[in-house]
Structure 1
């Protein structure tokens, strides 16, 4: 007799009709239930097998994706072959095959085996799911109260009384669980693509290709410029802290809603032009700004016609090679400050052809929007976080002062310089601006630039 905790294992040697049998053991497991001590036994186990017997009582769970693979294999090779290949018992595989249609209709990551009560009013829930999908297709918010009110309305139209269907908040929670609906935070204020955007996209690309064939632009003379907002305070949305912490506070200077505008520009050969920074104020302070940025003040804090004309004169017309007055192409969005008669005339005087991105398509046709803005802002956020860790000046009330404008301009300069030239070149190819005209580089249209993914790892909480 061996004793393993509260488990009694008895090894017995026996023979039947003069024929010896291998030793086997009886495994007694005490289980307390309703005040009685019950004993269960397992026979035909060797002592070593009995000692290693799994007493945890846990049940294995498999994802629907795994079950689909097992079902597919079992249909081709049989249940026993699937058991040997994947591990689950033949009985489980047989049951899964009987539930094939329900398993196929489930999400691949789901693990539950159709537990819980089924819907009492399936037609009502089907109509309610369609209502939710319709609102989300229009990017409209849906609340649990909205679902409850709509459910009561559908029930009333179906002839159900309040006694038959109450539509309580707990029912809404169960309904959402059954239908795979969850409450989510807004990820971003998305830009909705316009109707028939495929047609506009193809027409734009044809126009760019035809213009390149006619004018034979050099890579250094095809550029893109865009204004992007940058905030004085850019606290991270996440931080590392202890599990038991009830509050997660992040120190800021109180300027989360104060921002300035940065006009970024680059060319298809990978060159980055000096950033053009616009602060919302009447005059600039007498600070030592970095030499590689241009700083201006504006009462509204964003680009207008006069500032755009100055940008053309100080930045675009002074890019490398601009002195030779070779044919050039500048890609801009449809912001009205870019399309005035004086702006077009100024670009034409410098032999620059203006290419305007159709409204609503900058998220897929503008190199800065598609690839460069996110890593740029992620680097600015890193520099801001490093500054916050330092010993910074405070107000008489003890609050942190806003970073000086010269410091902020230094962040912009460093972040813009940190972007590799190859990333800039790939951004133009991805937007079908600098691709080889023979079609050998068209695969770049569908590739996700690796630099964008790498840079987003360090700034995954950045919200555009």
Structure 2
């Protein structure tokens, strides 16, 4: 009998037909013959029926295939990919291939075709597949709303205990900080064929800000992650000498993303100072999204050591239940952009290239923007995540 590929969904259909025909007195061999499969295959499928029902019906096999040879890059590649998708940024195998070349010299030395297949296998083993972009409604999908409602019902008893103060109910998230915020559109006279916009040079440079807020309206010290060597000259000499070093946690990372190392730094420099005045035994609840470095073993152990309860927000629900996404990121970025425009205007209206903003410029913008976010903005963000699903009676 020739080889054929049968999806898990089709296997289940054959098994249902088998049960009906066995009930009517037919033999397993005759059923197998009618479907063009070997009887031993039917027996194997019957034995693994529960696994088949739990698997994706489009899959051809219950196995995950050959194990990826670059699992040591999983956090740097897959974690980074999840963070990009959280921010709505498109990714591809080739983009992840470039990322892997940037962070691993051994990977970079391999042939390009081999690199591509290694990245593809790593993605597949982590459930990342190619998907077409779809038109998304302005309002969140009903499924996300239902999942958010169920999650909130589970969380409310946790944050309603009498000894949990609002100042110790905290949400943290990352947001990108482009060094140039020039938009892709402008007003121009009708009929103009070439439309240009003035921006600073090197306008693809960016950093990442890790922002955290508490339910009482208070703010934790922000962290800025610049692109660079974690133990290079910028990280060890320039940033510690910054005039904003007391108001910001500053560090470098190869791609300017949050990772295990600077996540631990955020805990020590931003979270611990905020919660150190609490009474002995008083609980602290921290809400984070499903970014890999938020719940790695190293980070979870650190949270446990300081008595912080980590609560992960369901995937796809951050836009409706994460306070920073709901009501803090936009006013923060609006204030950053306003300062960037003021900085741009400072170079006058003459032509010529405008230099890239310095790291100190970015630090200044973050400090000014963060200080101008009032407690009422933060409280409204927390209130919105709650009242969206639990309206006042």
Fold-level similarity (TM above 0.5): yes
Shift of 1:406: 0.4
State the alpha-carbon separation in 2 of the partners of residues 316 and 376 from structure 1: 20
Shift of 1:323: 4.8
Q: Which position in structure 2 is the counterpart of 1:220?
A: 167
Q: Give the counterpart of 1:231 among 156, 159, 178.
A: 178
Give the CA RMSD over aligned residues. Answer: 3.3
Moved more, 192-201 or 210-219: 192-201
Q: Which position in structure 2 is the counterpart of 1:417?
A: 371
Q: Give the counterpart of 2:283 among 327, 332, 353.
A: 327
Shift of 1:257: 2.2
SS in 2 for 1:331: strand
State the alpha-carbon separation in 1 of the partners of residues 303 and 162 from structure 2: 15
Corresponding position: 1:292 with 2:232:
no
Q: Which position in structure 2 is the counterpart of 1:201?
A: 148
1:287-324 C-alpha deviation (Å, 9 max, x unpaired)? 63413111101112111111111111111111165453
Q: Which position in structure 1 is the counterpart of 2:200?
A: 253
Q: Which position in structure 2 is the counterpart of 1:314?
A: 269
Q: Show structure 1 runs of 5+ residues with no match.
A: 1-185, 446-464
SS in 1 for 2:303: helix
Q: Which position in structure 1 is the counterpart of 2:212?
A: 265
State the alpha-carbon separation in 1 of the partners of residues 361 and 340 from structure 2: 10
**1:443 to 1:336, Cα distance in 2 relative to 1, 3 A:** same
**1:411 to 1:189, Cα distance in 2 relative to 1, 3 A:** farther
State the alpha-carbon separation in 2 of the partners of residues 191 and 412 from structure 1: 29
SS in 2 for 1:223: strand
**After superposition, where does 1:99-118 map in structure 2 within 5 Å?**
none
State the alpha-carbon separation in 2 of the partners of residues 190 and 340 from structure 1: 33
Shift of 1:215: 6.2
**1:239 to 1:198, Cα distance in 2 relative to 1, 3 A:** closer
State the alpha-carbon separation in 2 of the partners of residues 414 and 236 from structure 1: 22
- Contact kept, 8 Å, 2:287 with 2:313, in 1: the verdict is yes
What is the TM-score of this pair, normalised by structure 2?
0.57
1:223-274 C-alpha deviation (Å, 9 max, x unpaired)? 1000111101101445455567554422112333221110000111111111
Q: Show structure 2 runs of 5+ residues with no match.
A: 1-132
Q: Give the counterpart of 1:431 among 374, 385, 388.
A: 385
SS in 2 for 1:337: helix
State the alpha-carbon separation in 2 of the partners of residues 316 and 322 from structure 1: 12
SS in 1 for 2:216: coil
Q: Which position in structure 1 is the counterpart of 2:128?
A: none
**1:212 to 1:419, Cα distance in 2 relative to 1, 3 A:** same
1:162-185 C-alpha deviation (Å, 9 max, x unpaired)? xxxxxxxxxxxxxxxxxxxxxxxx
Corresponding position: 1:376 with 2:332:
yes
1:323-342 C-alpha deviation (Å, 9 max, x unpaired)? 53421110000111001122
What is the TM-score of this pair, normalised by structure 1?
0.49
Shift of 1:202: 2.4
Corresponding position: 1:402 with 2:356:
yes
Shift of 1:426: 1.2
**1:210 to 1:339, Cα distance in 2 relative to 1, 3 A:** same
Q: Which position in structure 2 is the counterpart of 1:362?
A: 318
State the alpha-carbon separation in 2 of the partners of residues 294 and 406 from structure 1: 13
SS in 1 for 2:160: helix
Aligned positions, number: 251
Q: Which position in structure 2 is the counterpart of 1:388?
A: 344
- Contact kept, 8 Å, 2:288 with 2:311, in 1: the verdict is yes
SS in 1 for 2:226: strand
Q: Which position in structure 2 is the counterpart of 1:20?
A: none
Q: Which position in structure 2 is the counterpart of 1:304?
A: 259
- Contact kept, 8 Å, 1:327 with 1:352, in 2: the verdict is yes
Asked which structure has the greater CA Rg, the reply is: 1
* Greater strand content: 1
